[in-house]
Structure 1
Amino acid sequence: MGKLKTGERKRPGGGYEKRFTIDGVRYSVYAERKDDLQAKEDAKRAQIKAGIYHTNETITLNQYFDEWIEGKALSVRPVTLYQYQRWYDCYVRKTIGRNKVRKLERRHIVSLMNSIAKKTSAAAANRIHVLVCSILKGATANDIIPRNVAAGIPALKIAGPPARETIHRELTDSELERFFSAAESSIYYMAFRFLLNTGTRAGECAALQWKDIDRENNIIHIRRTITKDRAGKWIVGEAAKTKTSRRDIPMNEAVKEIIDYQWNLYRALNGIISPFDFVFPNRSGGYANENALVNSLKFILKKYNKGAKVPIKPFSVHAFRDTFASRAIRAGVPPNTLKEILGHASLSMTMDLYAHVSQGDKRQAMEKLQTMSF
């Protein structure tokens, strides 16, 4: 591959961009391969010459979004593209999307956020604000608008406690004991135990194949995840969530017990185990997905709580990961080691998101510090 030509650049997130100017107006084209940039430029020049290309003055937010997301396709995962498209089509396309980008004002976006918050939630409104801000950031970089009118708008306050204190909380011993007692008949009983004992993500657990399990050296290789493609279809991703998500996790006795159980169950049902068979399959033997695990967990909780004197408060599949991480910190696992086990890119992510501090933790800390008092 030759050197980059004038106007061409390699994008930080992947792929290439070429900028060119016609009659003083700057345009951009994107391609995964550098060699495709010229064809993209020729096609856009032909549109401009034929008068069917939307100029900076006439382009609407909808029209610019369709260009913007194609550029994003070179640097973000397909599931992220799916989410962007779904959020935009649901909340923006038929509201402020028909506005010309140059005519958009801050009050249009504030009004949209307030409307979404009233009909759906403040969290959804904030998510759409971030998306619109990112789109207009691209429009600013492409000289369509002089400034991003969405930048600087404060996020709406979300009522109630954060998710880390409710559905993503650390589970208590009592909650775990009652949940697993109720979950024994579930096809995903061992999957839930695996999530709790390894801190893996639901998609990583569902994507595990027997070729990823080194039973001789007691190591689990995390190499892929169950994700969605751009159309929203569940697929086995060719890679884990991020580069740091690709990792090896040593098996302790509790994890080995879970893996051995699944191995013996597989042998009893199928006789032969293929390296490509899934460790925690769905009922048809294929891969499960996060929705299947979530729905199974909800069903177990609903069934248990129906006749329970002390119900279990709702929690998410992710709570198993939270519980693993928080207890690991409490047990003295070095934060940097925990970061590697969880597959996080930064230590701050590990500590900020998963190291939940209980009232008991704070009390013990103060008792230890008492020896320092005068």
Structure 2
Amino acid sequence: MLVCVDIQNAFCSKEMFREINYRQKSCQIRRDWIMPRTGENIYKRKDGRWEGRYIKEKNGGKAKYGSVYARSYKEVKGKLEEAKKELDGKKSYSIPGKKMEDIGRNWLSEISVSLKESSANKYEDILRCYIFPEFGENELSEITNQHLMNFVNNLLVSGGVNKQGLASATVIEIMSVMNRIRIYAMRKSYPVAFSVECISLKREYKNIRVFSLEEEGRLLNYLQKHMELPELGILLCLFTGIRVGELCAIKWDDIDISEKKLSVRKTLQRLRTSKPEGCKTEVKLLEPKSSSSVRDIPLPDALMELLEKFYISGAFLLTGENSRFIEPRTMQNRFKKIIAACGIQDANFHTTRHTFATRCIELGFDVKSLSEILGHANVAITMNRYVHPSMELKRENMNRFSDLFTVK
């Protein structure tokens, strides 16, 4: 009998122990649910409400607090998070220096480290001539899509120094800068109200001038009869398609007589300077337009024979002197006088490049080789912008159908 009592007492004690343990765990769960975590600044007040506190501002190192109230911990925690988000939003709108001119200059200063000098100059000109006069004193949050559309329309109709209206390609570049400033501002948490997606512009390509075979023949005859170093340079462009800036930068050492090739490594360009006094621009010897513009061009035998006669080691090709060069603007003017003397319709120097590309296609060059000779990043640029089949070539290709069909 005594044994049974002991067993029953032991059984009851075990059941009681389980019940106590269960209740303790339940209490702990409830306590975890209603009690705030350390550092949250949430407390239960004596009146039964919950209070959440947050720092509204700091003045002289002292914090000024704000409070939110609710009947439960969960509710006050939600209110506290909303109050903090609202405060963060107000802080982002109070960042100093958010005018377009301030942000634009900061953006250009940040990216100039990785830009070529010519590109940095181009962006600075776009800011100074177009964007700052229109939006310089505005905050980015004040510039709306409607403002942007009006700006674009004005540029197309009456933009430019002579109010003649800007080409769509120029306006597209201006909008590209606006978009880059917008992205920069958003990254810095400045409020922005506009988006360039509201602007729809198509790049219009003008009819490209290409010398006809008859015009090119006249030009070649003139150059051979009046052969001097500048005329030799124009001849070189007609047979290689190099740019005028690249031609002006070429030295005779860039021509490998034994390998019969031309190495393009530099370009000559006139850029605006930041000097407060003296000339506003200066001519500089720079890296080529892009990495693909650095290239080696094979030279035809007939041209090599002519180049060997004029070869002067260490000198610039166009002057024959070590320190004196001819800048692109001067070469452009000389070229216009020459084609006028030949009785050829007006054209700029870049026509030699387009003419070279067109002749190469007519002769059956493979497009990949031509693209690399021209220094293009991809074949699409060569085909879309530099290849201009003549009517004679189109007719010749169309007549090939005669070999397939007989029309009676």
TM-score over 0.5 (shorter chain): yes
Alignment correspondent of 1:98: 137
Contact 2:144 2:194 (8 Å CA) reproduced = no
Cα distance in 2 for partners of 1:328, 1:157 equals 26
Question: Unaligned stretches of 5+ in structure 2?
Answer: 1-56, 58-92, 274-280
Alpha-carbon RMSD across the aligned residues, in angstroms, is 2.9
* Residue identity opposite 1:362 in structure 2: K
Aligned length: 299
Q: Does 1:369 align with 2:401?
A: yes
Equivalent in the alignment of 1:295: 333
Query: Contact 1:113 / 1:128 at 8 angstroms: preserved in 2?
Result: no
Q: Which residue of 1 aligns with 2:260?
A: 218
> Match for residue 285 of structure 2?
236
Distance in 1, Cα, partners of 2:303 & 2:191: 55
Residue matched to 2:244 = 202
Tell me which residue corresponds to 2:75. Answer: none
Quick check: 2:210–2:355 contact (8 Å CA) kept in 1? yes
Relative to 1, partners in 2 of residues 1:98 and 1:78: Cα closer, same or farther, differing over 3 Å? same
Distance apart, 1:280 and its partner CA: 1.3
Q: Which amino acid aligns with 1:137?
A: I
Query: Matched residue of 2:113: which SS?
Result: coil
Which SS does the other structure have where 2:297 is aligned? strand
Which residue type is aligned with residue 211 of structure 2?
L
Q: Aligned in 2, Cα 1:358/1:248: closer, same or farther, shift over 3 Å?
A: same
Q: Which residue of 1 aligns with 2:319?
A: 281
What's 1:14 paired with? none
Q: For residues 207 and 101 of structure 1, do their structure 2 counterparts lie closer, same or farther at Cα, with a shift above 3 Å needed? A: same
Query: Counterpart of 2:269?
Result: 227
Deviation of residue 372 (structure 1)?
Answer: 4.2
Matched residue of 1:312: which SS?
coil
- Alignment partner, residue 310 of structure 2: 262
2:172 & 2:358 partners in 1: Cα distance? 28
Inter-partner Cα distance in structure 2 for 1:203 and 1:66: 29
What is the letter of the counterpart of residue 294 of structure 1? Q
Give the 3-state SS of the residue equivalent to 2:325 in structure 1: coil
Kept in 2: contact 1:78–1:230 (CA 8 A) = no
Q: Distance in 2 between matches of 1:157 and 1:336?
A: 25
- 8 Å CA contact 2:145–2:198 kept in 1: the answer is no
Aligned to 2:43: none
CA contact (8 A) 1:294 1:317 kept: yes
Q: What is the DSSP-based 3-state SS (H/G/I as helix, E as strand, rest coil) of the residue aligned with 1:233?
A: strand
Q: Which residue of 2 aligns with 1:127?
A: 173
CA separation in 2, counterparts of 1:259 and 1:207?
16
1:340 to 355, 359, 372: 372
Greater Cα radius of gyration, structure 1 or 2: 2
The one-character-per-residue Cα deviations of 1:52-110 (angstroms, maximum 9, x if unpaired) are xx965651111111111112212321101111112221222222222111211122222
Q: Report whether the alignment pairs 1:143 with 2:194.
A: no
Structural mapping, 1:15-34, within 5 Å: none
Q: Quote the residue 2:346 is aligned against.
A: 314
Q: Which residue of 1 aligns with 2:277?
A: none
**C-alpha distance in 2 between matches for 1:218 and 1:316:** 28
Residue type at the aligned position of 2:144: E
CA distance in 1 between counterparts of 2:195 and 2:403 reads 55
Per the TM alignment, residue 345 of structure 1 is displaced from its structure 2 partner at its CA by 1.3
Query: Residues 314-337 of structure 1: CA distance to partner in whole angstroms, max 9, x if unpaired?
Result: 222111111111111111111111
Residue 363 of structure 2 corresponds to 331
2:142 and 2:193 in contact (8 A); partners too = no
More deviation in 192-201 or 173-182?
173-182
What TM-score do the two structures reach when normalised by structure 1?
A: 0.71
Higher relative contact order (CA 8 A, sep 6+): 1
2:358/2:388 contact within 8 Å kept: yes
Return 5+ residue gaps in structure 1 as ranges: 1-22, 24-53, 264-272, 306-310
Instruction: Please tell me whether the aligned partners of residues 293 and 376 of structure 2 are also in contact (alpha carbons under 8 angstroms).
Output: yes
> What is the CA-CA distance between 1:235 and the residue it aligns to?
0.7
Residues 371, 128 of structure 1: CA spacing in aligned structure 2 closer, same or farther, 3 A cutoff? same
1:111 paired with 2:111, answer no
1:29 corresponds in structure 2 to none
Partner of 2:382: 350
**Equivalent in 212, 234, 258 of residue 172 of structure 1:** 212
State the one-letter code of the partner of 1:196: L
1:202-249 residue CA offsets vs partner (Å, 9 max, x unmatched): 111111112211112211111111134562532111x32221111111
Of 226, 243, 248, which aligns to 2:296? 248
Corresponding position of 1:30: none
Structure 2 residue matching 1:313: 3-state secondary structure: coil
